[in-house]
Amino acid sequence: MSEDLLQVENLGRSFGAFTALKGITASFGQNRVTAVIGPNGAGKSTFFNILSGALRPSTGSMRFMGREIGGTPQHRFVHLGIARSYQITNVFPQLSAHENVRIGAQAFRSRYNIWTPRASFHDVSAKAEQALADVGLGASRNRLASSLAHGEQRALEIAIALVADPKLLLLDEPTAGMGPEETKAMVALIERLAAGRTILLVEHKMKMILGLSDRVLVLHHGQLIADGTPAEIQADPDVRSVYLGQSHGYA
């Protein structure tokens, strides 16, 4: 088995006549942070939707831990060890932080039925507590999700993803809508989570990406136009020309 956790080859996706993603070939090793960047509409979320099973690829293959997963149903992905958070905050506002995570944990343990021993429920509850503590929300367990600050809600989403103990964590714009302080806290969280996990994140904040990532992939019009270290990407003339005149420049 290859030491890479995930390998994609010639991965693509069309919507009718429109090709949103085309010919993506890349491998992802264990325990690294890779940023996926690119202008609006470049195909970043489409790429993540495919990697998390929400969309079937139109072309190509994807291997996770040496096994083809391209045709796997979406609900199996979390069991494979792939979990994600969404570009738009996605929590139940009228439930507490703990309830939000516990529901995620129970959905993951979908084999539950009325004969499930009580101890297993304690197990789920303990997993939820641990996930909340991991993202720094242990003290906020009983607060309604709607009463949490925006940054805390994003952390809560990550806690929900963590209960499955994913090997691959996909974060789609985890700092979207955050100010500098919340962004700093999210960067610290991602750094903590990166120990022992492979993380792919979509981001627009260039400074953050360059500081946090081991590697950067650049998508443009659905194609992978660059793949390298942050320093290589910064120096890449194709990347520079794509970002020239963009609102999300190298600020």
Ligand X SMILES: Nc1ncnc2c1ncn2[C@@H]1O[C@H](COP(=O)(O)OP(=O)(O)OP(=O)(O)O)[C@@H](O)[C@H]1O
CA angle, 42 then 44 then 49, to 5°: 135
Q: Is 151 in the site for ligand X (CB under 6 A)?
A: no
CB closer to ligand X out of 12 and 104: 12
CB closer to ligand X out of 20 and 128: 20
User: Shortest CA distance to 154 belongs to which of 193, 125, 206?
Assistant: 193
Closest distance to ligand X from the beta carbon of 45 (Å): 3
> With CB cut-offs between 5 and 8 Å by kind, which of ligand X, Mg ion, none does residue 19 bind?
none
Q: Is 106 in the site for Mg ion (CB under 5 A)?
A: no
Residues in the chain: 251
Closest distance to ligand X from the beta carbon of 15 (Å): 3
Q: Is 45 in the site for Mg ion (CB under 5 A)?
A: yes
Closest distance to ligand X from the beta carbon of 172 (Å): 7
Which region, left, alpha or beta, applies to residue 50 given φ > 0 means left and ψ of -120 to 50 means alpha?
alpha
Of 80-88, 140-148, 184-192, 204-212, which segment contacts Mg ion by CB under 5 A? Answer: 80-88
User: Shortest CA distance to 204 belongs to which of 48, 36, 52, 88?
Assistant: 36
53-72 burial string, b = 16+ CB within 10 Å, else e?
bebebebbebbbbeeebbeb
The binding site for ligand X (CB under 6 A) comprises 15, 18, 20, 38, 40-46, 87
